[in-house]
Chains A and B, each alone.
Chain A
Amino acid sequence: MADGRKEPKSKYTMDRGMPGAFEGETVTRRRFMTATVHGAGAIAVAAFALPALGFAAGSALFDRPPVEWKPIGATSDFPDDTYIPRVITEVAGIGQVGKTTIYVRARNSDDPPPNPPGYDEQFIAVSTRCMHLGCPVRYVDAAKRFICPCHGGVYDFTGSVEGGPPVRPLDRFYTRVSGGQVEVGARYSVNSEFRRHPSYRDPAQDLDGIGQYLYPGRFSTPKMD
């Protein structure tokens, strides 16, 4: 052409004079083979990489452990004006590491009713996991408070945050009474109004205001009954 530009090539291989071209064929054999080899490679990689990823993350994220109700003592063991410590096994089969201390008392007239009702009608079992970053808190009877040794978190008698960095009240465990025995079930989290969140959150995850949307419930919520 006069201005030196080439005529745009036809998209049909036949028009471009390729040997063995078919009528209406637009993909050259070279391009087809390249795409096939790349595709085969991608499938081969995906065939081992995807199962490996699923293996690493699947049961960690989605397994829902069944809840085992554990008897912790007779109903008469627990007063309503102080906490009695009990050691329960949260994760079975790993020895001391799977055990945790909980503080148990009877519900008194100052407590708001369980929300939603159904469990914890008579007893309250408080977790010792600090809601700042998970250190073990301890109940100091003289002060009627829970104190965390790590970063100075303080909770009042009900487990509400009174000072320090924790973001929500101490977790609790489901309780029920069966045959004169107090039994504890799965852990659950509460917001500052003690509304129960069955899918318990890790420490430092706020459950009030925007926090309840920023920290969604986990898929690994324990299966009740």
Chain B
Amino acid sequence: MKLPLPPLPTALKPKPKRPGEAERVKPLDQVKEAGISTVDWVDERTSLSGAARWTMFRKVPKGTNWFYTLGSATLFAFLSQAVTGVFLAMYYDPSVTNAYESARHITNEVFLGEFVRGMHKWGSTVMVILVCLHMARTFFFGAYKYPRELNWVIGVVLLILTFVMSFTGYLLPFDQRSYWATVVGVNINGTGPIVGPFLSDFLRGGAEFGATTLSRFYAIHMLLLPGAIIALIGAHLYLVARLGTTAPPWLQAESGDGIREENV
């Protein structure tokens, strides 16, 4: 048996609403709404929510599987390289006489230096592997075909830029391995007929490996290429959102009447 609650004292009773008065907004509700109202404030002035919806809530084909995550994995490898690279640049000194010493200082003396440098070093290898896997996925799934040819072309440019990134970054620790690998790499560039000799002069900043070679590689590695890569990743992602992803090729064989799209 349920007993009725004792009556509240008059002072604690909620005051009845006066006629004509709007519902008062309580502070707790204001806090709850703060996030939404901030987003609303921005959206009212930018209309970004439409773009965000367009990018994120896309129809994806049936059969989408784990292989489709290789592109995102590559993107995160790049983000990891960008972040660790920015912080390595705070300690690194790209001069011929101090580069090796500053790299040694990062590894041996800076707090977490070995970890961050290791992330950048091994991350570069991971990124090259992921880029190649992503490219293989695209190739074997036939995802380079009409209308996605341009995205394939952008992807190939990104692949080359990733390799140039690896090549220019390899010199920066400035140990024996870096030095001789760069000598060999620049000379390979020099084997191109007619333009080769001038290309290798341009890379070295002169006829001999000199004081400017290292700073030249450093500028290419941390200013020129990241900008180009970020711009091209933007174009790459725009085209993915614009054109959508492909169904895996084995689904075509199963159903004769084309592939149903499902809203996920």
**Interface residues of A, Cβ cutoff 8 Å to B:** 56-57, 59-61, 63, 65, 90-91, 93-95, 97-98, 133-136, 150, 200-205, 214-222
Sample (11) of A-B pairs whose CB atoms are under 8 Å apart: A94-B97, A150-B184, A205-B191, A205-B197, A215-B196, A215-B197, A216-B194, A216-B197, A218-B197, A219-B201, A220-B206
Q: Interface SS of chain A: helix, strand, loop or mixed?
A: loop
Residues of chain B within 8 A (CB-CB) of A98 are: 208, 210
Does any Cβ of A come within 8 Å of B241's Cβ? no
Q: Per-position contact with A for B199-213: 1 when CB-CB < 8 Å, else 0?
A: 011101111111110
Give the distance in Å from the alpha carbon of A214 to the alpha carbon of B197 in the complex.
10
Give the distance in Å from the alpha carbon of A200 to the alpha carbon of B207 in the complex.
9
* B197 in contact with A133 (CB, 8 Å): no
* B191 in contact with A135 (CB, 8 Å): no
* B209 in contact with A203 (CB, 8 Å): no
* B184 in contact with A133 (CB, 8 Å): yes
Residues of chain B within 8 A (CB-CB) of A90 are: 208
- Chain A residue nearest to B99 (CB atoms) is A97
Give the distance in Å from the alpha carbon of A80 to the alpha carbon of B255 in the complex.
83
Give the distance in Å from the alpha carbon of A94 to the alpha carbon of B204 in the complex.
14
* B206 in contact with A201 (CB, 8 Å): no
Most buried by B among A90, A95, A203: A203
Give the distance in Å from the alpha carbon of A205 to the alpha carbon of B188 in the complex.
10
Least CB distance from B101 to A in Å reads: 11
Mark out the residues of chain B between 145 and 171 whose CB falls within 8 Å of any chain A CB in the assembled complex: none
Does any Cβ of A come within 8 Å of B133's Cβ? no
- Chain A residue nearest to B191 (CB atoms) is A204
Residues of chain A within 8 A (CB-CB) of B208 are: 90-91, 98
**Interface residues of B, Cβ cutoff 8 Å to A:** 96-97, 179-180, 183-184, 186-188, 190-191, 193-194, 196-198, 200-202, 204-212
* B198 in contact with A218 (CB, 8 Å): yes
Q: Of A57, A94, A203, which is within 8 A of B96 by CB?
A: A94
Residues of chain B within 8 A (CB-CB) of A222 are: 207
* B205 in contact with A205 (CB, 8 Å): no
* A203 in contact with B190 (CB, 8 Å): yes
Least CB distance from A210 to B in Å reads: 9
- Chain B residue nearest to A200 (CB atoms) is B207
Residues of chain A within 8 A (CB-CB) of B211 are: 91, 93-94
* A203 in contact with B187 (CB, 8 Å): yes
Give the distance in Å from the alpha carbon of A98 to the alpha carbon of B207 in the complex.
12
Q: Of A65, A93, A133, A200, which is within 8 A of B187 by CB?
A: A133
* B188 in contact with A204 (CB, 8 Å): yes
Give the distance in Å from the alpha carbon of A56 to the alpha carbon of B217 in the complex.
12
* A204 in contact with B97 (CB, 8 Å): no
Most buried by B among A59, A220, A221: A220
* A60 in contact with B188 (CB, 8 Å): no
* B193 in contact with A215 (CB, 8 Å): yes
Give the distance in Å from the alpha carbon of A135 to the alpha carbon of B187 in the complex.
10
- Chain A residue nearest to B174 (CB atoms) is A97
* B201 in contact with A61 (CB, 8 Å): yes
Give the distance in Å from the alpha carbon of A54 to the alpha carbon of B196 in the complex.
18
* B179 in contact with A135 (CB, 8 Å): no
Least CB distance from B250 to A in Å reads: 45
* B183 in contact with A135 (CB, 8 Å): yes
* A202 in contact with B209 (CB, 8 Å): no
- Chain B residue nearest to A204 (CB atoms) is B191
Given contacts A59-B206, A201-B197, A220-B206, contact A95 B183 (CB under 8 A): no
Most buried by B among A60, A95, A219, A221: A60
Residues of chain A within 8 A (CB-CB) of B207 are: 65, 200, 218, 220-222
* A214 in contact with B194 (CB, 8 Å): yes
Give the distance in Å from the alpha carbon of A220 to the alpha carbon of B198 in the complex.
9
* B194 in contact with A95 (CB, 8 Å): no
Residues of chain B within 8 A (CB-CB) of A219 are: 198, 201
Give the distance in Å from the alpha carbon of A91 to the alpha carbon of B210 in the complex.
6
Give the distance in Å from the alpha carbon of A136 to the alpha carbon of B190 in the complex.
18
* B187 in contact with A60 (CB, 8 Å): no
Least CB distance from A132 to B in Å reads: 8
Residues of chain A within 8 A (CB-CB) of B212 are: 60
